[in-house]
Structure 1
Amino acid sequence: MKNIVNVKNLNLTYNANSIKPYHALKDINLQVTEGDFVAIMGPSGSGKSSFLNVLASLQAPSSGSVLIDEQNIWQLNANQLAKFRGQKLGFIFQEYNLIESLSVADNIALPLSLAKAKHTTITDAVNQVATLLHLKDQLKKFPNELSGGQKQRVAAARALVHQPKLIFGDEPTGALDSANAREMMNYLNKINIEQHISILMVTHDAFSASFANKIHFLSDGQIVQTLERSNQSRETFYRAILDFLGTFEE
């Protein structure tokens, strides 16, 4: 199976020309295979957000390469990168990032609307993901009429509607209570398995991370440890993560 993400010798330095440059990412190498579900964990300041931003084409690295679906994204110009992002990538953010003036249906449809897809294509795609994520009864509502869990499902539907190769999650359960967090992770697991869409998620939450197949731990801008779920149950993997975090954070 081929790699959907291939990161080589990735570095990110802020204030590189100053007296005290800050090395946020240090010579990171990482591969994510097609259909995989990967979590990135680490303490505050470890480089998690910077790493996600570089992988998601939102922050240019200082050096190194990021290949997504065999395309070196940082060799693309601005227009090519925007097109690539709109076709290949989906995003789920902690704060939902829904447009309050648009209905649920129009929020979900946004990636296809921006790509100027045909109306029938948009309608069919929105109905398909709304059915998958149990949002059919919410399509005519507006974000202020939804619960937090429903808003995050709308965000997930928007990330999925254009059938991307890869979905990035930035603390996707960070604003949810435990019941809604569990529901959200079950939906992401369903998307990963049934739609065979790769997911790369940054999280501080061990429970959310336990749904992943592999967890990379960052510290001071470097991957220092990797845990693989293999044939473990999610519950057993969760306990293994907690055990590791008990030593990792000491």
Structure 2
Amino acid sequence: MGIPAWIWFVIAAVALVAGLGLLAADRAKEGSRNRERMRWAQLRGWQFVEEDERLPQQWSGGAIGYFGADAAVNVVAGSTFTSDGRRPVFIFDIESEGQIPAVVVAVRCNKKHRIPIEMWLSSVPFQRADMPEMLGPIGSRYAFADDADGARVVITQELVDAADQLGGDVGVAWLENEWVLASVVPTAGPSRLERLLRDLGEIADIVDPFDEDYDAGRHQASAPIPTPGANPPTPAAGTPVQQPPADPSQQD
């Protein structure tokens, strides 16, 4: 004797209700993230866009290449201060096959990096088809770059120390084009993203320090203050020299 048809109907109905419940919960979570990101952008005076399909196309490495970003959603665009000055920033969720696998934070430098470099946590399954060459461990991360000699010039101990401070929820940080980027878990809220922005700003200052021409006067020393009684400067050749008035007591 087979299973009655009504039992299959009940099973199908329960599965449908469960699926709809999960979908509703997922949409509620996405809506909450959207509103939270929008409020954060408004408080900072930054711009917010719900979706931008072209933004992730600027990059191909790091989390963008690993997850295969279809679009950027909940996008925040603004600028932040670092020790070297103000730098433009992006914060956005990667959307891949309808899911949000990570949040990307990007800080812009003033010049394009000659060598793309990726710094992955060893606990992350970072392998992908077009993975750059692995250079080896740097602190708590592994470095990858196609130009090993050039990358070793960029990867200073200062950069390694700064990358170690990013945290265990940052799967990868990377340098690509004129940007310093990192991906963090999708549950990261505004306070965590603020800290990550500061950390990436520090890395941007390390790999792209502002030079004197860019920020004239910032690194200039103050002009020396003349010391009372100091000898006057020697006049240029051909300039008449004014003699001090004679002392009457010395006159005949």
**What is the TM-score of this pair, normalised by structure 1?**
0.28
Please state which structure has a larger fraction of its residues in helix: 1
Q: Which has the larger radius of gyration?
A: 2
